[in-house]
A and B are shown apart, each in its own frame.
Chain A
Amino acid sequence: DQQVKQNSPSLSVQEGRISILNCDYTNSMFDYFLWYKKYPAEGPTFLISISSIKDKNEDGRFTVFLNKSAKHLSLHIVPSQPGDSAVYFCAAATSGSRLTFGEGTQLTVNP
Chain B
Amino acid sequence: DADVTQTPRNRITKTGKRIMLECSQTKGHDRMYWYRQDPGLGLRLIYYSFDVKDINKGEISDGYSVSRQAQAKFSLSLESAIPNQTALYFCATSAGLAGLQETQYFGPGTRLLVL
| A residues in contact (CB < 8 Å) with B | 4, 6, 9, 31-32, 34, 36, 41-46, 49, 51, 89, 91, 93, 95-96, 98-99, 101-104
C-alpha spacing A18/B72, complex, angstroms: 40
B73 to chain A, nearest CB (A): 17
Question: Of B14-22, B62-70, B76-84, B105-113, which stretch is located at the interface?
Answer: B105-113
The answer to whether B101 touches A31 (Cβ under 8 A) is yes
CB distance from A94 to the nearest CB of B (A): 9
Residues in chain B near residue A98, CB distance under 8 A:
33, 45, 48, 58
Q: Which positions in B face A, CB cutoff 8 Å? A: 4, 33, 35, 40-45, 48, 58, 90, 92, 98-109
A62 to chain B, nearest CB (A): 15
Task: Let me know if A49 and B90 touch, CB within 8 A.
Answer: no
Q: List 10 A-B contacts (CB under 8 A).
A: A4-B42, A9-B40, A36-B106, A43-B107, A46-B103, A96-B100, A96-B101, A101-B35, A103-B42, A104-B42
Further contacts, 9 of them, CB under 8 A, given A42-B108, A43-B90: A6-B42, A41-B108, A43-B107, A49-B101, A91-B43, A95-B99, A96-B101, A99-B104, A104-B42
- Considering the complex, give the chain A residue whose CB is closest to the CB of B38: A103
Q: Give the residues in chain A near B58, CB-CB below 8 Å.
A: 98
Q: Is the CB of A43 within 8 A of B4?
A: yes
| Interface pair A34/B103, CB less than 8 Å apart | yes
Contact, CB under 8 Å: B40 / A89: no
In the complex, which residue of chain B has the Cβ closest to the Cβ of A51?
B101
Chain B residues in 8 Å Cβ range of A99: 45, 104
* B106:A95 contact, CB within 8 angstroms: no
**Cα(A19)–Cα(B55), bound, Å:** 39
Task: Answer whether A43 and B108 are a contact pair too, CB < 8 Å, given A98-B45, A103-B40, A104-B42.
Answer: yes
Please give the distance in Å from A90's CB to the nearest CB on chain B: 9
